[in-house]
Chain A
Amino acid sequence: KNQVEQSPQSLIILEGKNCTLQCNYTVSPFSNLRWYKQDTGRGPVSLTIMTFSENTKSNGRYTATLDADTKQSSLHITASQLSDSASYICVVSVPGGYNKLIFGAGTRLAVHP
């Protein structure tokens, strides 16, 4: 069964600190892996998209890594800011023209001053 699992479920860090969020998936084959940021009550916003041949992708203070052999991905956030408080969702895209997305449950990150 195609699944995306994320850890930790929630995380609290102090402003300015770094953190790493984990994602394991069983989706196979897959087209690409994405990380989304979702603020409370809002729609997901794309942070990074990686194909199976890419190992790392950065977007400002966000850096995603992908190991297609072990089916693991991580999202590293550096120098966290209060505005980083949100849910971070790992999403895997299934191949095919219709681009079906399979979502993880997300990691809820709280950045405290």
Chain B
Amino acid sequence: EPEVTQTPSHQVTQMGQEVILRCVPISNHLYFYWYRQILGQKVEFLVSFYNNEISEKSEIFDDQFSVERPDGSNFTLKIRSTKLEDSAMYFCASRHRSGTGAPRSDEQFFGPGTRLTVL
């Protein structure tokens, strides 16, 4: 069964360093998402991406964040200058196609996450 994969599973970095989190969405999916979950808190939406551009982003997704789909298979999240408060689990998700009213077309499939620790 196809699944979303993410690498690395755990990333440790120093404050102020740049990190790139990588995701390989399910191959025929068109919509891509990043979410984060700070330890003990709820999952929060960061950004959605469609047709090679950001379609929606949250307040969390400031100028320090960027996303890219460099080669048609990978989907990356870059944090330019990490802060302590960026420590969290980062989940990538992908979805096949636009909602048609049928629930299954809206289903987002999540990857296993990357745990980012900023020291």
Contact = CB atoms under 8 A, between A and B. Distances in A.
Contacts of B27: none
Counting contact residues on chain B (CB < 8 A from A), the size range is 20 to 34
Contact of B48 (A44, A98, A105): A98
Contacts of B91: 43-44
Contacts of B101: 51
Interface in A40-96: 41-46, 49-51, 89, 93, 95
Contact of B56 (A89, A93, A98, A102): A98
Nearest to A38: B43
Interface stretch (B12-20, B63-71, B78-86, B106-114): B106-114
Contacts of B61: none
B73 interface: no
Contacts of A32: 103, 106
Contacts of A95: 99
A24 interface: no
Given A42-B112, A97-B98, A98-B55, A103 B44 contact: yes
A97 B45 CA distance: 15
Nearest to A44: B110
Nearest to A57: B103
Interface string B13-31: 0000000000000000001
A103 B98 contact: no
A99 B56 CA distance: 10
A99 B31 contact: yes
Nearest to B3: A43
Contacts of B104: 49
Given A46-B107, A100-B56, A102-B45, 6 more contacts: A31-B106, A98-B48, A98-B56, A101-B45, A104-B42, A106-B42
